[in-house]
Amino acid sequence: MKKLISILLTATLIAGTVTVFAENDTDAVLPDQTITETISEHMQNQVTITADISNTLLTKEADATFELFEIDGESLKSLGTSTQHIARDSESVMFTFDVPQYEIGTHFAVCATGGIESFKYYEDTYPINSFITLPTYKYIDSEGNDAISTGISITINPLSDKPVNLYYNAISTPTSGARVIDGTTMVPARALAEFVGFDVRYDEGYNVEVISLAGKDMYFNIDTAYTTVFGTDLFAPHKTIMIDGTVYIALRTLADAIGSELEIKDYGTHMDINMSESEFVSEYFNQLPVNQWGISSRTNYMVWVSLSEYKVRLYQGRQHHWKPILEAPCAIGAPWTPTVTGSYEYNYKARWDYGTYYVGPCLVFYRGYALHSVLLNYNGTEYDGRVGVQISHGCIRLKKKDIDFIANTIPVGTRIYITP
């Protein structure tokens, strides 16, 4: 690592080369500092590097090491190393070197030897094993007092876990932050599982992420590899971890559990992984008529009204992957004022008053047709709460709690699909 260097009065620093400035070279001074005419006679025995961390979501924990060198004629003499641990939430660290006494004005050489990608000094970025000078000097501070500098400030670009672009059945998933950690592909559990179609909940009491579908559960215990998949205990290839409030699980464990194959393309700087469609998941969704029919919606919700069953069903998900979240009884149009059938979209919300009673909220989807509450007194009690009958002027009536839930859940643009 030691290199022969030429003592130059002025030069430009390049990677892998040390430039040593003369004692009166003001280029080595920060822009807002003025070096004094006379170098201080005070002796020092410590040199520091203050490093801010360029935080990224993919920061990889590592031990960063810098080495300090004495400039001895045309050679470098190592004065030792300083190591600091960089955690995912680290904002700054300081590297301290205890050295033999030196006079202010002495210049040292320093380089990063491991644990980081690179570092930035002023406007330039330097990779591992690149040398820069570390000047010491006396200056006048902003209050007019003598001061000394025995260190430099840099910005560290930490090591990063390899990012992963994840697809399910060739469809891009909302899994920002998926990454390769310690050689294992780790993915945000909730984002991926919900996209595939599972329910996800965090059990704070047991510190476990629970992923469920069709009455079957997977338990990912945080901070351990111990995992339970559909009643079978196993150890995942990497422990389940939580980063910035997001639970990360081993992709391979989830894929194997639901019978998905992984197609992996490694591009060096990142990976693309396609997770094939799970037969277990597909069988669950394909049993639902709305998925068989291929109904789509501009939102993540869809409402199916079955007039023959006097039922309103609310679904969440997407085309072919609708999952029921509410089933409620309803009243429909009287024989002489029937409810329309067909495919519509929720347009706006209103409330309709009729003097002695009102209905609302009213989710209007076509002309004067709407999903709305049964007839209500102004004190909140039911004026006419009948459901399961043909009684309205064409609108679909639901109990107050059910229409309130739907109104508070679906956004404008949600598909309203009505069948005979």
Q: 314-355: per-residue pLDDT in tens?
A: 999 999 999 999 999 999 999 999 999 999 999 999 999 999
Percent helix, strand, coil in the chain (nearest 5)?
Answer: 10, 50, 40
pLDDT confidence of residue 171: 93
Looking at the structure, tell me whether residues 217 and 305 fall in a common domain. Answer: no
Looking at the structure, tell me whether residues 223 and 340 fall in a common domain. Answer: no
pLDDT tens column, 342-388:
999 999 999 999 999 999 999 999 999 999 999 999 998 999 999 99
Tokens found for residue 109: 């050489």
Looking at the structure, tell me whether residues 311 and 368 fall in a common domain. Answer: yes
Residue 5 in domain: no
pLDDT confidence of residue 3: 36
pLDDT tens column, 247-284:
999 999 999 999 999 999 999 889 999 999 999 999 99
Residue 7 in domain: no
CATH assignment at residue 183: 3.30.457.10
pLDDT band of residue 298 (cuts 50, 70, 90) is very high
Looking at the structure, tell me whether residues 272 and 396 fall in a common domain. Answer: no
**231 phi and psi angles, rounded to 5 deg:** 90, -5
CATH assignment at residue 348: 2.40.440.10
pTM greater than 0.75 (yes/no): no
Looking at the structure, tell me whether residues 307 and 263 fall in a common domain. Answer: no
Question: Does the pLDDT value for residue 62 go beyond 50?
Answer: yes
If phi > 0 it is left, if psi is from -120 to 50 it is alpha, else beta; for residue 388 that is left
Looking at the structure, tell me whether residues 235 and 295 fall in a common domain. Answer: no
**Which of 158, 181, 200 is a domain's end point?**
158
Cα separations in angstroms, 98 against 35, 71, 75: 24, 16, 20
Residue 3 in domain: no
Residue 12 in domain: no
Q: What is the DSSP pairing of strand 184-188 with strand 107-114?
A: unpaired
Residue 90 in domain: yes
Residue 16 in domain: no
Q: Is the bond preceding 420 in cis, omega lying within 30 degrees of 0? A: no
Q: What is the dihedral of CA 167, 170, 174, 175, to 10 degrees?
A: 0
Question: Does the pLDDT value for residue 40 go beyond 70?
Answer: no
Q: What is the DSSP pairing of strand 375-376 with strand 390-392?
A: unpaired
CB 138 within 8 A of CB 148: yes
Question: Angle at the Cα of 382 (from 377 to 387), degrees rounded to 5?
Answer: 135
Q: Residues 174-182: contacts with CB within 8 Å, 24+ apart?
A: 176/57, 177/57, 177/58, 177/243, 177/246, 177/248, 178/251, 179/58, 180/271, 181/60, 181/238, 181/241, 181/248, 182/238
Looking at the structure, tell me whether residues 411 and 364 fall in a common domain. Answer: yes
Q: What average pLDDT is seen over the chain?
A: 89
Question: Does the pLDDT value for residue 46 go beyond 90?
Answer: yes
pLDDT tens column, 120-156:
999 999 999 999 999 999 999 888 898 999 999 999 9
- Domain span at residue 339? 288-419
How many CB atoms within 10 Å of residue 245? 6
The SS3 call for residue 35 is strand
Looking at the structure, tell me whether residues 298 and 252 fall in a common domain. Answer: no
Looking at the structure, tell me whether residues 137 and 171 fall in a common domain. Answer: no
pLDDT confidence of residue 74: 83
pLDDT confidence of residue 7: 30
Looking at the structure, tell me whether residues 139 and 210 fall in a common domain. Answer: no
Burial 289-314 (b: 16+ CB within 10 A, else e): ebbeeebebebebbbbbbbeebebbb
pLDDT confidence of residue 13: 34
d(CA 139, CA 149): 8
CATH assignment at residue 138: 2.60.40.1140
**Which of 158, 183, 217 is a domain's end point?**
158
How many structural domains compose the chain?
3
Tell me which H or E stretch contains 404: helix 400-409
CB 308 within 8 A of CB 199: no
Looking at the structure, tell me whether residues 125 and 177 fall in a common domain. Answer: no
Looking at the structure, tell me whether residues 134 and 250 fall in a common domain. Answer: no
Question: Does the pLDDT value for residue 98 go beyond 90?
Answer: yes
**Which of 221, 246, 281 is a domain's end point?**
281
pLDDT confidence of residue 59: 85
